[in-house]
Amino acid sequence: MGRGVSGIRDVAAVVERTAVEDFLYREADVLDRWRLDDWLALFDDDATYEVPATDAPDGVAGRDLFLIADTMPVLRGRVTRLKSVNAFVESPKSRTRRIVGNVRITGTAADSIDVAANFLITRIRKGVTDTYVGRYDHSLRVVGATDFRFRRRRAVLDHDALRPQGKISIIL
């Protein structure tokens, strides 16, 4: 096994891709069940949740326009609003189904890994079905050999525009 600069074993030698897949599948299930507090528990306290604009998929938060660029305090507020009975944009709540695939470990550091995956999310609400297609680019903190926490959760849409819905009211 490789050794990092600080003597910590390289996480790529310890982490199995299947453990990463299980983490992402569990996250998808939590979101599909609208267990948003359980979803927030999958994040580090200083994590970010990003969705770049459809015309700038490689954009940088803070420099480029983003659909969503949440720090944890903002993300907690987003979840509180989504759970509220006053969240008319999600009342009644959407039904969603997520498919996550083609999971790859794309980089490693002493205590974290970078992960890419593809997603297909179907949202059904009031007789209308919307489909979101894209890729995830995540940075995960390794918690043991089989668990993780999001440092950065980034959903990059393949869409050229958000038609017909025009907005994102669910967690991608």
Q: What token pair was written down for 90?
A: 């999600």
pLDDT > 80? residue 147 = yes
Q: What is the mean pLDDT of the chain?
A: 88
Q: What percent of the chain has pLDDT over 70?
A: 90
| pLDDT (0 to 100) of residue 74 | 97
Could you tell me the pTM of the whole model? Answer: 0.88
All domains in the chain, ordered by first residue:
15-157 (3.10.450.50)
pLDDT tens-place string over residues 69-82:
999 999 999 999 99
Question: How far is Cα 94 from Cα 109, in angstroms, rounded to an integer?
Answer: 37
pLDDT > 70? residue 164 = no
Alpha-helical runs (H) found in 15-172 = 17-32, 36-40, 72-83
How do 43-52 and 66-71 pair as beta strands? Answer: antiparallel
Q: Are 111 and 144 in contact (CB under 8 A)?
A: no
Q: Residue 4: which pLDDT band, with cuts at 50, 70 and 90?
A: very low
Question: How far is Cα 97 from Cα 81, in angstroms, rounded to an integer?
Answer: 21
Q: Are 99 and 119 in contact (CB under 8 A)?
A: yes
The whole-number average pLDDT for the span 19-41 is 97
